[in-house]
Amino acid sequence: MALEFGKELTAHTTNIPGMLVFDLPVHGDARGWFKENWQREKMCALGLPDLGPVQNNISFNAERGVTRGIHAEPWDKYISVATGSVFGAWVDLRPGESFGEVYTCVIDPSKAIYVPRGVGNSFQALEDGTAYTYLVNAHWSAELKKTYTFVNLADPGLGIEWPIPLSECELSEADRDHPMLADALPMAPRRTLVTGCNGQLGRAVRAVAEERGLPGFDYCDIDTFDLSRPEDYEKYDWSLYGAVINCGAYTAVDCAETPEGRRACWAANATGPALMARTCAEHGVTLVHVSSDYVFDGSRVNHAEDEPLSPLSAYGQSKAAGDLAAAGCPRHYVVRSSWVIGDGRNFVRTMRALSDRVADPADALERVTVVDDQLGRLTFTDQMAAGILHLLGYRDGGLEPSAPAPYGTYNLTGSGPVESWARVAARVFDLANGNGGAVGPVSTAEYYASAEGPIAPRPTHSDLDLSKVRAAGFEPRDWTEELAEYMETL
C-alpha cells in the first residue's frame, strides 16, 4: 500500500461518540520516512483527551490476514501502525444510545485512532509483517480484566465487510466463540466515588445521579473513609475508578480559629485533598474538589478563577491549601462556590424559622438583625451537582462521561443579582410570611460586637465570575428563582 506523504495533522470525529481519527504528517524520501506518532500538545489542541498513557504495546502480525477479535477493555487507546497496514473495525459496547454503532477504516502509518474506554476494537492485517502499536492509560489488573466485554467478529448484524473473508483468516478460538451483539454485555463504566455523601452537596450529587440513573456511583462519608488517614486508601481498588467527587469539608469557620478546630480544619480541607490528589494522580483518576469564596479576602468585586489566593481566616487558608493540592492532580476540577444552600442546616432554613416567629414586623423589638456589608450570591446544591456532572462530561442523557470540560478551576454559583446577607434574608421573610421589613441590616462589626470566642474574618465581596463555566456549556440558574422554589419545599 502506497504511503501518503505531506498530510496536515487533522482530527475527524466518527459516528461513535468520543472516537477520533487523526491524519498524521509523514515526511519521507529515498531513505525512508519519519512521523510524530503522538504529540500531546498538538493533538490535545485538536480535541484528543489528555489520556496520560502508562504503557506502549506492539502487536506484530507475521502474515496478511491475521485477524484479532472485537475486545472492549477498561482503558482508552491510541492506535497507530508502524509498518504495514490494517483494516480496523470498532463497535461501541458502552451502555446508552450508541451501543452497537460500528466504524471501520484502513490504518497505515499516516493515520491514528483514539478509542475511548468501552469501545470494542479489532483489526485485520492487510500486509505481511504489520506492526500494530497502541498506547493505553491504565495498567492491567485482575479486577480490571473482569470488566472486559466482547462481540463476535462475524455477527451479520454488525455489517462489517472484512477485506479478507474470515474463513480464510487466522483467528483464535476465543475470538470465534465471542457472543453476538444481541447477547453482548455492555461495559460497565468506571466507578465514581462521592466523598462527604451526607453533607448538603453530597446528598445533592446522589439525588441528581439517581434521578438520571447514572450507574457506578459509590458513596462514603468520614465515618467509613477519612481522606486524611493514609491507611483508609487501602479500602479501595482505585483502578476501578474514573472520578472522585470530594464533597467533604470542615465548614465551621469560627471554630477553625481555635487550636483544636484549626487542626481538624486542616486535616479535612488540606491534608485529605492532598492525599486524594496524589492517589488520583497515581491511578489516572479525575478529582473534583469543592472550594470556597473564602480563599479570597473579598477586597475585589467579581473574583475570577485566576485571581491570586488571599485567604483571611484559618478556614480560608485550609481551603486555599486544598485547592493547590488538588491542582497537582493532572485530571482535576477545582469548583468554587459561595453561600451554599441545600438539604440540611443552612442560612435560608434559619431565616425561614425566624420569619415564622415574628408577630409584628413593625415592632422594633421583633426585628432580626442580619449583616449587610457582605455581598454575594447563593449557590443551590442541585445546580452545583448538575454543574459538576456537566464538567465531568455527563451530558445529553448519557450514562457515562463523554467530552469532559478542560481540566482546571471553575467558579460555580447561582447567577442573578449580587446582594447582601440582609437582602437575602428579607427575600426569605417576604416569601415565607410577607414580613421582609422585620429584617434589620447591620454591619459585620456590629453583629459580632458581643460575640464570645474567636470570630473568623469574612470576605466582603464573595461574588464569583461565572464566565468560564458558561464557556464550558453550563448556565447556572438565577438564584432568586431557585430560592422561591426552594422555599416551597420547606
Are 57 and 134 contacting, i.e. CB atoms less than 8 angstroms apart? yes
Residues 6+ apart with CB under 8 A from 489: none
Beta strands 86-92 and 102-107 are antiparallel
pLDDT of residue 239: 83
Name beta bridge partners: 134: 57, 79
Give the pTM.
0.81
Query: What are the boundaries of each domain within the chain?
Result: 10-183, 191-489
- The packing angle between helices 347-357 and 421-433, to 10°, is 50
Exposure on the CB side of residue 483, measured as CA atoms within 13 A: 29
Of 272, 282, 111, give the one whose Cα is nearest residue 196.
Answer: 272
pLDDT at 5: 75
Tell me which residues are annotated as active site: 71, 134
Burial 387-407 (b: 16+ CB within 10 A, else e): bbbbbbbbbeebbbbbebbeb
**Pick from 370, 383, 365, 359: which is nearest to 428 by CA?**
370
What's the pLDDT at 240? 86
Angle (CA) 59-77-172 rounded to 5° is 40
Name the residue among 102, 79, 118 with its Cα closest to residue 155: 102
pLDDT at 1: 56
- In order along its 490 residues, the chain shows pLDDT tens digits of 567 777 889 999 999 988 999 999 988 888 888 888 999 999 999 989 888 888 999 999 999 999 999 999 888 999 999 999 999 999 999 888 889 999 999 999 999 999 998 999 999 999 999 999 999 988 877 777 777 899 999 999 999 999 999 988 888 888 899 999 999 988 888 899 999 999 999 999 999 999 998 888 999 998 899 999 999 999 998 888 999 999 999 999 999 999 999 999 999 999 999 999 999 998 889 999 999 999 999 999 999 999 999 999 999 999 999 999 999 999 999 999 999 999 888 999 999 999 998 867 777 667 899 999 999 999 999 999 999 999 998 887 777 777 789 999 999 999 999 999 999 999 999 999 999 989 999 999 998 888 888 999 999 999 999 999 999 999 999 999 999 999 998 8
The closest of 257, 193, 202 to 225, measured between CA atoms, is 193
Q: What is the largest CA-CA distance in the chain?
A: 96
pLDDT for residue 2:
63
The confidence score (pLDDT) of residue 463 equals 94
The fold adopted by the segment(s) 10-183 is: Jelly Rolls (2.60.120)
* CB distance 107 to 28 below 8 Å: no
> What is the Cα–Cα distance from 439 to 425, expressed in whole angstroms?
7
For 97-176, where are the E strands, in sequence order? 102-107, 111-115, 119-125, 130-136, 149-151
Cα 18 to Cα 98, 103, 442, distances in angstroms: 11, 12, 54
Distance, in Å, from the CA atom of 439 to the CA atom of 141, rounded to the nearest integer, reads: 61
Q: Which three cell numbers stand for residue 219?
A: 458513596
Task: Say which residue the cell 469560627 belongs to.
Answer: 254
Q: Are 375 and 419 in contact (CB under 8 A)?
A: yes
Query: For 191-489, which CATH superfamily applies?
Result: NAD(P)-binding Rossmann-like Domain (3.40.50.720)
Please give the C-alpha separations between residue 100 and each of 111, 187, 261, 463, in angstroms, as whole numbers.
24, 12, 54, 46
126: which residues sit within 8 A by CB, 6+ positions away? 1, 64, 84, 85, 86, 87, 106, 163, 164
Looking at this protein, which amino acid is placed at residue 282?
Answer: E
Dist CA 261 CA 253 (whole Å): 9
Q: What is the pLDDT of residue 364?
A: 60
Q: How far is CA 16 from CA 98, 154, 191, 400, in A?
A: 7, 20, 22, 14
